[in-house]
A and B are shown apart, each in its own frame.
Chain A
């Protein structure tokens, strides 16, 4: 399953809820969700810890728009919109953690 997160981990429990409920699969960080993918943030350790269970992706155009395109945590894979579409197509189902 593809889990789509669009909230900053500093203001919302969306990422937290997803990490503790979902059984695994792909996570894609978009919009304000991309802040979770940046080096040096308070949630970096949490994200690193989730990498065994989940494959984590970040929508690069959203990260670049926010001036953080060069700070992707190692192991998080940057994708463009075509990559977003592929992730959706390659998973059986998807859920947006609004």
Chain B
């Protein structure tokens, strides 16, 4: 990779809909894709709820933005990491998620964070 490519990691630790952070984080991710950077997404703590299958938002009159996570692949964003302990604590498994992810332990995620040039948290 050339020297002006940086490693960007987007750390998502908040659940969707309760606040706007998850949606606006996704908007940054999609823009970053256009800059040809090395992009990865990490979902920790309540952030794993962003990827839950079967979101139905009609009743809260809010746009369901979860299909956009599936579109990330089209933007060549394929590094999606999900915290193993966070899934377990929430009674979720990889099967409950709407995209293919790599499940990592907290410690493994910590090592990945260290390797980043830019970490943006939402």
The reply on A20 being an interface residue by CB < 8 A is: yes
20 A-B residue contacts at CB 8 Å? A1-B114, A13-B45, A17-B44, A17-B45, A17-B106, A20-B85, A20-B106, A20-B107, A21-B44, A21-B110, A21-B113, A22-B110, A23-B110, A23-B111, A93-B117, A94-B119, A95-B113, A97-B13, A98-B13, A98-B122
Contacting residues of chain A (15-43) with chain B, CB-CB under 8 angstroms: 17, 20-23, 25
Q: Which residues from 79 to 122 on chain B have a C-beta closer than 8 Å to any C-beta of chain A?
A: 83, 85, 106-107, 109-111, 113-114, 116-119, 121-122
Residues of A within 8 A of B (CB): 1, 13-14, 17, 20-23, 25, 93-98
Residues on A with C-beta less than 8 A from B33 are none
CB distance from A55 to the nearest CB of B (A): 15
Per-residue CB contact flags for chain B residues 64-85 toward chain A (1 = under 8 Å, else 0) read 0000000000000000000101
Query: Contact at A93–B118, with CB atoms within 8 Å?
Result: yes
Return A86 CB to nearest CB of chain B, in Å.
Answer: 19
User: Beyond A1-B114, A95-B11, A98-B13, is A21–B106 a contact (Cβ under 8 Å)?
Assistant: yes
